[in-house]
Amino acid sequence: MPNSPKVVVNLATGLEDAERVLVAFLVGGAAVERGKQVTMFLTKEAVRLALPGHAEGVACDGCPPLAKLFAQFADGGGSLLVCPICFNARKLDQGELVANAELGGATPLWEWVGEDHATVFSY
């Protein structure tokens, strides 16, 4: 699977572990900078990151602000695929999703990967 054009970043952690969120967006952002097609699959508490004002803060001393990494990821064409079961279980409003986010579970993720190979990172 050398030089796969697609990257999936699986993120199951929200701001309760901000450093994991930081690393996921660093990896995803680096992939979009390299011209990869990137989708971040948000599950569990990570689904909240697909709502305005949630991907904010600083994960650690000397770390870049999460809002900056989030914006770079979106501006570079990175997309967010938000687990609908996790999202709805938290009674969140689909109408509030950020522009690069959409609800979609395992089947839409597999459809996005298609017959291509994808490099997967999981946090």
Q: How far is Cα 111 from Cα 12, in angstroms, rounded to an integer?
A: 20
Per the DSSP assignment, residues forming a β-bridge with 122 are 10
Per residue in 3-50, pLDDT (tens digit) is 779 999 999 999 999 999 999 999 999 999 999 999 999 999 999 999
pLDDT bucket at 1, cuts 50 / 70 / 90: very low
Domain count, the chain: 1
pLDDT band at 2 (very low <50, low <70, confident <90, very high): low
Domain-embedded: residue 1? no
Q: Which domain does 77 fall in, by range?
A: 6-122
Q: How does DSSP classify residue 82? A: E
Q: Is residue 107 part of a domain?
A: yes
Q: Is the pLDDT of residue 91 over 50?
A: yes
For position 58, what pLDDT does the model report?
Answer: 87
CATH of the domain at 93: 3.40.1260.10
The C-alpha atoms of residue 122 and residue 80 are separated, in whole angstroms, by 14
